[in-house]
Amino acid sequence: MTNSTQLRQCADPIGVFDSGVGGLSVLRALRAELPLEPFVYIADSGHAPYGERDDSHIIARSHAITRYLLEHHHIKALVVACNTATAAAIQRLRQDFPELPIVGIEPALKPAASNSKTKHIGVLATRGTLNSEKFRALLASLQDQAHFVVQPCDGLADAIERDDAIKTEALCAYFTRAMGQFGLNPGEMDTLVLGCTHYPFAIDVLHASVGEAVVFLEGGAPVARQTRRLLEARSWLATQGAPVARAASTVFGTTGNAGQLQSAIARWLQMTSDVQTLSIT
């Protein structure tokens, strides 16, 4: 690789996509871990919710968005900031785009099993994630380490997406109540794994349902660290040669309602940004 190619590669952005606004929780972790990197974030809200769609739909959308990010933004890496898309499509994406570093996200079952004191752990996720072969294999590999109570949360990601506080509160209460007892006593769940990138934006509501003592685990920070490792190994970090003028910019696009994504960016990232309305096929 020539020096000029290396400089261009360092300056290229990291692509991030989710079915909607939930991936902003991952983008928040990425921006904290990699503050000099430019990003492009795509919310595929016009084709959501992924968690209630079949694998063929999710694979097709993931493929189309990856192709768009490569062709229009020349991304140097891709973060699949969606548990459902990771479970359904990441293997196919890695086969079809072998030169592109791709990082996915999965429910944090392993750290939960390692750190739980009671060894009783709750898992909230979409039905698509829980029914995936990838999740079932992960769960099976840890069955001798902890007891997991798995809860599909139909409608919760969509309620958070729409910023519907009343429905979000009702669903959080309903799903956590259905799981059983949370707490620090033997037989109680002391850890709750948030298996959808939307759910961290309902942490306050969830804490009200299960208690402040329960530990919440999400996947954003591990994804950010893995993204750094992959770029570092290729000498593609912005700090390894990119012009600083390109650094720290974030471009946002959505296939759905631009105002909805703008509101979420302002609320959860504390920043203002233009949002492009996209047609990605």
* Catalytic residue annotation: 82, 196
Other Cβ atoms closer than 10 A to 120: 21
3 state SS of 20: coil
Say if CB 107 and CB 81 are below 8 A apart. Answer: no
Say if CB 44 and CB 19 are below 8 A apart. Answer: yes
42, 106, 135, 231, 238 from 88: Cα distances, Å: 18, 11, 10, 24, 30
Q: H or E stretch including 42? A: strand 39-43
Tell me 119's DSSP state.
Answer: -
Tell me 240's DSSP state.
Answer: G
Q: What value does the CA radius of gyration of the chain take, rounded to a whole number of Å?
A: 19
3 state SS of 190: coil
Say if CB 43 and CB 261 are below 8 A apart. Answer: yes
81, 135, 250 from 72: Cα distances, Å: 19, 32, 14
Other Cβ atoms closer than 10 A to 114: 11
* CA atoms within 13 A of residue 195's CA, in its CB half-sphere: 35
Q: Which amino acid is at 55?
A: D
Nearest alpha carbon to residue 84 among 109, 118, 61: 61
